[in-house]
């Protein structure tokens, strides 16, 4: 059966790792079998993906939290609307950890005054933006009260590759910095892979809860096609042996309803760090993607 191009949604995603192709090829076949065909386009960075979503080049975007914040700002400025239509169970109420070596004399964030703290890439919500905001709320401003050492790996991918977090952790273990930030799941990962020594580190502080990625519907999407896409997406079951490998690759067990309420910490951080203006224009200096 021939499917009209007008009835095929186009989804955009960022190629932050080779597994991305496997994921979306698998999703594409699953959705086609259930009468919700879509095609996908991979972008090298989230800034290009967000701009494509706003132009209508893609109808949906598998977005980082930062990409959603930018898309929302761009849409509001243009009198349009984007929406978080679904999230992974692992995207809800995430926290970042401020980690020190076990023998560090630091007992609180205040003890890092005058010290050097490691962060991820300039555009990482979990390892840079929200952590800088957290320290600012505690009274320590980067560049004034402590030295910021950023590990700028693969700009434009919004920290999804976790390379910056890993490099910061290595630098801390090597004694080059006094503390480093990482999202909670990566703290466990780095310990299991040997990047962090077993029992050799401790958590000094924890950020507030925030949401991570979401499936964002663009301002020009066909409402009926969007509803069908979401229906099929939400129906993906961990108990389906054919679906489980795809969900495992994408890091979830259950799709949850999308929401925008979990991005307020990131919104504040983006404004304070001057990454984007209120209309979603990139305003920070030194951002290469």
pLDDT, tens digit, 9 for 90 and up, residues 55-99: 999 999 999 999 999 999 999 999 999 999 999 999 999 999 999
Distance (Å, whole) CA 23 – CA 28: 9
Q: What pLDDT score does 7 carry?
A: 84
The SS3 call for residue 202 is strand
User: Long-range contacts for 22-28 (Cβ within 8 Å, ≥24 apart)?
Assistant: 22/249, 23/246, 23/249, 23/250, 26/245, 26/246, 26/249, 27/246
Q: Residue 5: which pLDDT band, with cuts at 50, 70 and 90?
A: low
pLDDT, tens digit, 9 for 90 and up, residues 134-191: 999 999 999 999 999 999 999 999 998 899 999 999 999 999 999 999 999 999 999 9
Does 221 have pLDDT greater than 70?
yes
> Element (H or E) spanning 231, and its range?
helix 223-234
Give the rounded percent of residues in the chain with a pLDDT score beyond 90: 94
Closest of 46, 64, 62 to residue 9, by C-alpha: 62
Q: Are 52 and 213 in contact (CB under 8 A)?
A: no
pLDDT, tens digit, 9 for 90 and up, residues 244-281: 999 999 999 999 999 999 999 999 999 999 999 999 99
Q: What pLDDT score does 6 carry?
A: 67
Does 2 have pLDDT greater than 80?
no
Mean pLDDT score of the chain, rounded to an integer?
A: 96
Distance (Å, whole) CA 22 – CA 27: 9
């Amino acid at each position: 059966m021939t499917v009209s191009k007008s009835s095929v949604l186009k989804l955009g995603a960022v190629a932050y790792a080779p597994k991305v192709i496997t994921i979306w090829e698998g999703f594409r076949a699953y959705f086609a079998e259930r009468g919700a065909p879509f095609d996908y386009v991979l972008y090298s960075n989230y800034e290009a993906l967000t701009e494509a979503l706003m132009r209508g080049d893609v109808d949906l975007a598998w977005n980082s939290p930062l990409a959603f914040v930018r898309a929302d700002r761009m849409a509001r400025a243009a009198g349009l609307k984007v929406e978080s239509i679904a999230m992974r169970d692992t995207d809800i109420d995430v926290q970042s950890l401020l980690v020190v070596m076990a023998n560090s004399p630091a007992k609180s964030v205040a003890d890092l005054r005058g010290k050097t703290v490691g962060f991820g890439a300039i555009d990482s919500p979990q390892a840079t933006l929200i952590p800088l905001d957290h320290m600012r709320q505690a009274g320590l401003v980067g560049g004034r009260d402590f030295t910021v050492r950023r590990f700028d790996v693969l700009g434009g991918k919004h920290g999804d590759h976790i390379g910056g977090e890993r490099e910061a952790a290595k630098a801390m273990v090597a004694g080059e910095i006094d503390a480093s930030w990482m999202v909670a799941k990566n703290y466990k990962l780095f310990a299991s892979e040997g990047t962090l020594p077993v029992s050799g580190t401790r958590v000094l502080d924890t950020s507030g809860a925030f949401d991570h990625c979401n499936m964002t519907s663009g301002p020009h999407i066909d409402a009926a096609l969007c509803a069908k896409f979401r229906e099929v997406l939400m129906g993906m079951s961990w108990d389906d042996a054919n679906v489980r490998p795809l969900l495992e690759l994408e890091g979830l067990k259950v799709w949850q309803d999308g929401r925008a309420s979990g991005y307020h910490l990131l919104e504040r951080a983006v404004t304070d760090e001057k990454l984007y203006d209120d209309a979603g224009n990139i305003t920070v200096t030194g951002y290469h993607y």
